[in-house]
Structures are given as C-alpha cells and as structure tokens.
Amino acid sequence: MLRLIASELKEHAPFTAFGAITGIAIMAIVVVANVSSGISQTIFYTLHPLHIVLSALATTAMYRKYGSRRVWAVLLVGYFGSIGIATLSDAVIPYLGGALLGLEIEFEVPFIEEWWLINPAALTGIAIGYLRPTTKFPHAGHVLLSTWASLFYFAAFGILVDWIPLFPFIFLFLFLAVWLPCCASDIVFPLLVTGKKLPPHHI
C-alpha cells in the first residue's frame, strides 16, 4: 500500500509542479494588473466549487469502480473525500503558508461560509462520478483547479504586500497544497476505504 502511494505521488509530482508554475504566472498577472481582493474573492469562489465538483467526481468514480456500489457509501466517500481535502488544499494550507510567511491573512472556511454553494457542488460531482465513473480528465482538471484556487486564496484573503519576492515560497506552498491533498483525495482516500490494490496507471 505504502509503495503504491509513494509511486502515485512520484508520478504526479511533475504535473503538479507544472500547475504550480501556471499559478505563479497567474499571480504575476494579478500583481501587474493590480487585481483587487474583491475580484480575487469572486474568482476564488468560482474556482473552489469547480474544484469540489471535480474532486468529488474523481473520488466517487475511483470508489465506484473499485469499491462498494451502495449509494450511502459512495455518498459518504465522495463528500468527505472532496469537501474535507479540498478545504485543506484550497484554504487551510494557503492560510498556514501565508501565516508562516508573516502575511496578514484571513482564515476562511468555504464549506461553512458559503455552504449553499459548496455542498451542491459536492453533490453534483458525486452524482456524475456515480453515474459515469471516469477518472482521467477529472483528476488532471482537479490538480489545475486546486492550484489556481489555492493561489487566489492568497490574493483574496491576504493583505496586499510586495508579492514578487515571495513567488518562490508561494510556488512551494502551491505545490504542497495540491500534490499531497489532491493525490490523497483522488487516489489514497478511496484506496484506503476499498482496501484493494489498483492496477497500475489507473488514472
């Protein structure tokens, strides 16, 4: 089990790094264009629900294909595998990263603050993953959306600073915010729940 998890993390590291690079490029545009925190919050609350949809879809599809087909079990795995881990990826890790960098940054919990938006997004992803259990595109899209959502958490809830010198550190936090949680959500979590070994190159 641990060997398979390590293999998956290694396989997904390059694509996650690419996603983090695109995040830094977007951050540079945000800085140059002087995008307001209000616009960044709107973008965050667009990207985060989309991330939830794809996360729930990928997690549910993986569990649906290799685990139980009982609706209540699929619902629980899809919900907690997306809401919990996406909150960690998009909000908790960026907040901790900002705090470690000494930034003034607000702590926002999306599924509490905007429950009316986040919960339907999770249920939509679960429904799609249950009816059409595919994992290839959802996982790739999940990684990119998670990267961009984490990025806009910095921009939306961090007090404006000179971001450019912080780009190397933001890259590191973006990478970590996506690499571990997204692989955990789409692969490790349903794998642990099913207790089964999956075939290689399954996503």
Is 100 part of any domain? yes
Mean pLDDT across the stretch 146-153? 91
**Residues 200/71, Cβ–Cβ less than 8 Å:** no
Is 63 part of any domain? yes
Is 26 part of any domain? no
Q: Which domain holds residue 60?
A: 37-194
Nearest to 136 by CA among 192, 65, 78, 68: 65
Please give the model's pTM, rounded to 2 decimal places. 0.85
Is 30 part of any domain? no
Q: If you average pLDDT over every residue of the chain, what do you get? A: 83
Residue 70 pLDDT: 83
Q: What digits encode the pLDDT tens for the residues 179-199?
A: 877 766 666 676 677 665 555
d(CA 117, CA 192) in angstroms, rounded, equals: 29
Which pair of tokens denotes residue 104? 């003034």
Domain count, the chain: 1
Residue with the larger pLDDT of the pair 86 and 193: 86
Q: What digits encode the pLDDT tens for the residues 4-45?
A: 667 767 777 888 888 899 989 998 998 888 888 899 999 999
Which pair of tokens denotes residue 16? 């996650």
Amino acid, res. 128: I
d(CA 122, CA 18) in angstroms, rounded, equals: 26
Residue with the larger pLDDT of the pair 168 and 192: 168
